[in-house]
A and B are shown apart, each in its own frame.
Chain A
């Protein structure tokens, strides 16, 4: 935006009295006063939130907790991790036991409206896919006509796969099995030549196969499972903090700012980079933080690509390709509004 225009806009904003919204509940102030971020995570999901050999929490979702702590408190270690089961996770957030839920939870309308929660964004675009064995010529889910597919009983995956085959006029031979372990065993043993669950799950299950290198996970994604951090709906200020920490990590990747280039970024002459690191403007202050909140988050955990590759991507055991979670400009759909 040209400077004259920007000045005009700010003047109008001032006349209308559009200052920072008063928060319904003061989560930000409470976190600052407490000096610790209470972050809800899973009870153990490899790559996302799990305890490592030293007993410390690690993973994609854990790094998001660290990024928020670094942005808000200036220290990524000031996090109290609260492991939560699927059934207790939202109630723990509603009851104020945690400040933010960072636990592979799918964003749906019902969860926001009925539970009074808000998803602050999408950190991981998951979705249902297929893993194929013994079918070297299959390169697309549309070529699965007549293939026997294993799926866990009682999951949405079972309904989705039936819909998908019907919509594409393919014959489905579905084998429904009680547990996830049964499904991967059946695939390995030859009872079926394909299995289906969410993509992130397929990469985890692949490691359990006798010869993981022979399995092909098809690039097709046939359902939407957007995962992201959740806050209470009555605290817009805190919601914005969490939302923009996520956007900051994505914008950092797009701008070429990483943990190893943070110092270089501080000296950059590019306006976008200068605003990001807080050398120009007062974006952080408007959020109720300080100018350096974004670069602190990047220094703590790296940009989105670094967080992804380290925990679930190319530098991890899971090796999940970026896929949908690649930047919008690089082959994926990851998109963060600009920081200005």
Chain B
């Protein structure tokens, strides 16, 4: 994973540089984000820049792993802690399978209980209107496939725009990022997709607000 850690370091440096260079650009001149998003990584909103290979995070805290997790939720429930950047798949007996996630702007806007309403392989992508406004050259619709910012799989939540999806930018895992919802590395979201059925409960929790 040398390459991945290199990419991560590079992107953090670049993010800082990018943020200072374009501090007044429309992309960043938005309303102040919630506290949880203070250290937001300003990712390019373009369709995925990095490899489209199905990356699995294999080392470090954001690698998929078994953890101790007390929960009264039934086995199979997904619990998302946005402040920690982790998604837990409840296994019962005080255990969970934990995945590292990146949380996009939309991911901080709602908390509570929803259900997986639909699953999609290589989902289509419809950039939100404000993104079209900032980047008028984007296609208004992008059929699913490698390179698509939605990544390899998507779990749609309820009837909302909320979704758990993949990403072509695995270096964004563990960060708050400027777009998207709950993103996993493409290989990890494929794994999660195979373990989750439509109708699964999803609990989304943020840090307490002040």
Give the interface of A toward B (CB within 8 A): 139-140, 212-213, 216-221, 254-258, 260-261, 264-265, 267-268, 270, 273, 305, 313-315, 319, 321-324, 326, 330-333
Contacts and interface: CB of A to CB of B under 8 A. Distances in A.
Given A219-B95, A314-B84, A321 B65 contact: yes
Contact of B174 (A254, A260, A314): A314
Nearest to B81: A330
Contacts of B91: 139
B65 A216 contact: yes
B207 A256 contact: yes
B30 interface: no
Given A330-B81, A331-B88, A331-B96, A313 B61 contact: yes
Contact of B58 (A213, A219, A261, A273): A213
A267 B208 CA distance: 15
Nearest to B60: A319
A256 B66 contact: no
A219 B94 contact: yes
A322 B85 CA distance: 12
A324 B207 CA distance: 18
A265 B70 contact: no
Contact of B66 (A218, A221, A314): A218
A332 B93 CA distance: 13
A319 B95 contact: no
Contact of A216 (B61, B66, B83, B94): B66
Given A273-B210, A330-B81, A319 B67 contact: no
A332 B62 contact: no
Contacts of B35: 256, 258, 260-261, 264
Contacts of B58: 213
A321 B210 contact: no
Contacts of B174: 314
A332 B88 CA distance: 13
A304 B94 CA distance: 22
Contact of B68 (A255, A267, A305, A332): A332
B201 interface: no
B165 interface: no
Given A216-B65, A319-B61, A261 B94 contact: no
B93 A255 contact: no
A260 B95 CA distance: 31
Contacts of B96: 219, 331
B98 interface: yes
Given A139-B91, A140-B95, A265-B210, A219 B59 contact: no
A254 B208 CA distance: 7
B209 interface: yes
A260 B38 contact: yes
Contacts of B207: 256, 258
A305 B86 CA distance: 14
A330 B67 contact: no
B162 interface: no
A221 B68 contact: yes
Interface string B74-95: 0000010101110010010111
A260 B176 CA distance: 15
Nearest to A325: B68
B61 A219 contact: no
27 contacts: A213-B58, A213-B59, A216-B65, A218-B66, A219-B69, A220-B95, A221-B68, A256-B35, A256-B207, A256-B209, A256-B210, A264-B35, A264-B210, A265-B210, A268-B210, A273-B210, A314-B62, A314-B174, A315-B61, A321-B67, A321-B68, A321-B98, A326-B69, A330-B81, A331-B79, A331-B96, A332-B70
